[in-house]
Amino acid sequence: MTDDTAKPVRKRQARGEKRMAELLDAASEVFAAQGYAKTSTNAIAAAAGASPGTLYQFFKNKEAIADALMERYVKRLREAHGEAFDLSVAGLPLEEMLDRIIDPIVAFDRANPGYYALLSDPHLSAELASAKRPAQKLMFERLDQILEKRTPGLDAERRTRTAAVAVHLFRGLLPMIMAASEQELPAVVNETKAALRAYLASSIGN
Amino acid sequence: MTDDTAKPVRKRQARGEKRMAELLDAASEVFAAQGYAKTSTNAIAAAAGASPGTLYQFFKNKEAIADALMERYVKRLREAHGEAFDLSVAGLPLEEMLDRIIDPIVAFDRANPGYYALLSDPHLSAELASAKRPAQKLMFERLDQILEKRTPGLDAERRTRTAAVAVHLFRGLLPMIMAASEQELPAVVNETKAALRAYLASSIGN
DNA sequence: TGTTAATGCGAGTAATAGCTCGTATTTTTA
DNA sequence: TAAAAATACGAGCTATTACTCGCATTAACA
């Protein structure tokens, strides 16, 4: 059987995809300012200089906007530090490894407050689960792989739990990281690294 | 000048306060199940077996419900382990101190999912700020005092930052703590303690 | 150039939200 | 017991929501 369900062969992609990008830009801003739940789809359309009808031509519902936006965030996260967050850091001393992992993530999160807005809305979990999952997987799986390469003999269950805890520790400090001024930021980031370094050293060694 | 704006001298407190308690119980359940934003005031009233009019006789708006509920949580938190979370733990070895602090908090949070629901809704911050503040202050100030007693010579700014970071680290792990089954819980709690122990030891010594 | 399809609009719809108000009942108070 | 106050109700008001639909405009393609 041939795959005749694939690609509806969309045309007019120049104008259309530009519009989608504008709508996602607008959604990013409004989500960052008001959060997902309190953001109306009409407000997103208005912020993009479009009409509700146009918005719903590209996104079947509000959740699809969050999904697409998160997908774009994850893609950009990969691009932004694909090389820094890859497995090559596993061989570095712990302190250096954390610098290489955390600095780009902090920069990305602060540059994209809408990403934080979507990630940190725990009670829209059910609704946003499909949007959040890829982003959480990105962080967790990368770290799990790094830990595996770093300490090959480690029990898999223990390694996985360590990775999950480390990701949650970082997310716990994200509110401080996001709220910090430029002057405060270095101290907050240093404290973040100190916490993760202490935990990881105690859990899997230096 | 006399304070003639004080206390409207409410009467009928037996029936009325019982109703308020029922409404807060209902709010706690519905918030836990659906989150603050998606919970309707009519649903709270219905869950309490009351009418919307009755609800609005005791709470001037939806936010006031969250405020009152959080106030009740904080009061119960104090009662639940007022003695365990007081300054007497400051003299214990770090590991024991963490046991004494964390175990009751974990028990309370798991027994009161509505508390977690209100606390962990960062994008209702503006709206719920007044509700969340006392709960966050409770944790932070207590820990700050404990650290002060534990390491009297420590720089105040550093101590305060350490306390804030520790509270955020715990909150970062709260999703795992709340999601864990009874079987998984001990491992998750141990990992929580390990993370806090490692961080605090590296920051202020053992 | 003419047909087709993608893009665009915005008034409009059904549902639901927070909240009010007139009124009825119960309890306190005098 | 009578008046006053607190509690209770629930239909309904206004605002807002996510989303639709008929129709106009623009661009691709034969």
- In this prediction, residue B120 carries a pLDDT of 79
Q: What is the mean pLDDT of chain A?
A: 88
Nucleotides of D under 7 A from a protein CB: 5-12, 16-22, 27-29
pLDDT at residue A1, rounded to an integer: 41
Band the pLDDT of A9: cuts 50, 70, 90. Answer: low
Query: Which pLDDT does position B94 carry in this prediction?
Result: 95
Interface test with B, best of A95, A123, A189, A199 (most B CBs within 10 A): A123
DSSP A56-78: HHH-SSHHHHHHHHHHHHHHHHH
Is A55 near strand C, with its CB below 7 A from some atom of it?
no
- Nearest-CA neighbor of B121 among A121, A23, A89, A97? A121
Scanning every strand, the nucleotide with its C1' closest to A15's CA turns out to be C7
DSSP string, A23-35: HHHHHHHHHHHH-
Q: How far is B194 from chain A (nearest CA, A)?
A: 7
Q: Where is pLDDT greater, at A91 or B121?
A: A91
pLDDT at A4: 40
How much is the pLDDT for B4?
40
Tell me the pLDDT tens digit for each residue of B25-70.
999 999 999 888 889 999 999 999 999 999 999 999 999 999 999 9
CB of A13 lies under 7 Å from some atom of strand C: yes
A55 within 8 A of A7, measured Cβ to Cβ: no
For the stretch B113-162, pLDDT in tens is 999 998 877 556 555 666 667 778 888 989 999 999 999 999 999 999 99
**Given pLDDT bands bounded at 50, 70 and 90, which one contains residue A121?**
confident
pLDDT on residue A119 = 86
Structure confidence by residue, pLDDT tens digits, A141-187: 899 999 999 999 999 999 999 999 999 999 999 999 999 999 999 99
What whole-number distance in Å separates Cα of residue B108 and Cα of residue A131? 31
Rounded (5°) CA angle A88-A93-A95: 110
| pLDDT more than 70, % of chain B | 87
Tell me the mean pLDDT in the region A26-55: 95
Closest CB from B35, B165, B192 relative to A191: B165
What is the model's pLDDT at position B86? Answer: 75
* B162 contacts in chain A (CB < 8 Å): 191
Cβ separation B176–A165 shorter than 8 A:
yes
In Å, what is the CA distance from B105 to each residue of A30, A92, B64, B81, B84? 35, 37, 25, 8, 10
First to last CA, chain A: 54
Q: What percent of chain B has pLDDT over 90?
A: 70
What local confidence, expressed as pLDDT, does residue A131 receive?
Answer: 65
pLDDT at B18 over 70: yes
Three-class DSSP category at A100: helix
pLDDT per residue as tens digits for the range A46-69: 999 999 999 999 999 999 999 999
What is the residue extent of each domain of chain B? 5-204
Q: How many CB atoms lie within 10 A of CB B91?
A: 11
User: How far is it, in rounded angstroms, from Cα B181 to Cα B194?
Assistant: 19
**CATH fold group of domain B5-204:** Tetracycline Repressor; domain 2 (1.10.357)
Contact B35, B113 (CB under 8 A): no
Confidence at residue A120, expressed as pLDDT on a 0 to 100 scale = 80
Residue B75 to residue B54: CA distance in whole angstroms: 25
What whole-number distance in Å separates Cα of residue B16 and Cα of residue B67? 18
> How many CB atoms within 10 Å of residue A46?
15
